Chains A and B, each alone.
Chain A
């Protein structure tokens, strides 16, 4: 039997993997993909709670609408972020975060 806790654990592990990716990798594009993994982990727990919270035989669709908005905003974020990465690559010929530390204190 699959319960809400199993979905929450799966979502938490996916979030932890994404977080480890942001910490361990030094390539901006891979860091960006790990960020997407973390967003998707949050979405999985939202859909899990939406299915758990049943009213009148219907799941709580507010959670699914929130997931819809998150996916939309994430798509916009990816386009802008990748455009910034392309502009950065044109200026510096690198996507390695340790080569782009002019603003580092």
Chain B
């Protein structure tokens, strides 16, 4: 991917990520998060991870965000009124964030191999999904079953949690 496209998608991702935090209305935040996830999916595609990019759009931008919007509209949340912020907590948080970015940039720029061009790859005629599927169903078969069970447990738990009276 050309550097211009990369930086455009990074800018879109970070701008709409910031809008999630800054937007006062919850619906606006949720829609900004969808755009941020779409730009992130484009970055996955730029890393030749086509399967993950498609999953990102289908699961995150599709299912999860529709669930968020559904809950926001179900609860009928208004735009948040301005309240007094907890000043020491916010200051502490910004100190932590600035230190985190400083450490990250120092680690990145002392990591010599990180500035090299990505090595070329050839995925062959099968493509990306074939390789991920093979490794998922052979090497990671048991974790895949466990995650399936986890989703079953989560869906049963959601039904029980949303019952009005627990017996």
Q: Are A1 and B71 touching (Cβ within 8 A)?
A: no
The answer to whether B64 and A78 touch across the interface, beta carbons within 8 angstroms, is: yes
Task: Please count the residue pairs between chain A and chain B whose beta carbons lie under 8 angstroms apart in the complex.
Answer: 224
Least CB distance, B33 to chain A, in whole angstroms:
5
Do the beta carbons of B132 and A64 come within 8 Å of each other? yes
- Closest CB-CB distance, B64 to chain A, in whole Å? 5
A76 and B14: CB pair below 8 A? no
Closest chain B residue to A18, Cβ basis = B17
Chain A, residues 17-46, CB within 8 Å of chain B (1/0): the string is: 111110111110110111011001001100
Contact B64 A10 (CB under 8 A): no
Please give, as numbers and ranges, the residues of chain B lying within 8 Å of A64 by CB-CB distance: 49, 51-52, 132
Residues in A with CB closer than 8 Å to B80 are 25-27, 30, 96
With A19-B93, A36-B33 as known contacts, state yes or no: A86 contacts B14, CB within 8 Å: no
CA A24 to CA B37, docked complex, whole Å: 21
Whether A58 and B123, one on each chain, are in contact in the complex, defined by CB atoms closer than 8 angstroms, is yes
Q: Is the CB of A82 within 8 A of B151?
A: no
Interface residues of A in 2-25 (CB under 8 A from B): 2-10, 12-21, 23-25
The B-contacting residues of A in range 43-92, CB under 8 angstroms, are 43-44, 47-48, 50-52, 54, 57-59, 61-62, 64-65, 67-69, 71-80, 82-87, 89-90
In the assembled complex, the Cα of A1 lies from the Cα of B119 at a distance in Å of 12
- Choose among B14, B68, B114, B139 the residue that contacts A10 (Cβ–Cβ < 8 A): B14
Nearest B residue (CB) for A76 = B154
Tell me whether A57 and B56 are in contact (CB under 8 A): no
Residues of A within 8 A of B (CB): 1-10, 12-21, 23-27, 29-30, 32-34, 36-37, 40, 43-44, 47-48, 50-52, 54, 57-59, 61-62, 64-65, 67-69, 71-80, 82-87, 89-90, 95-96, 98
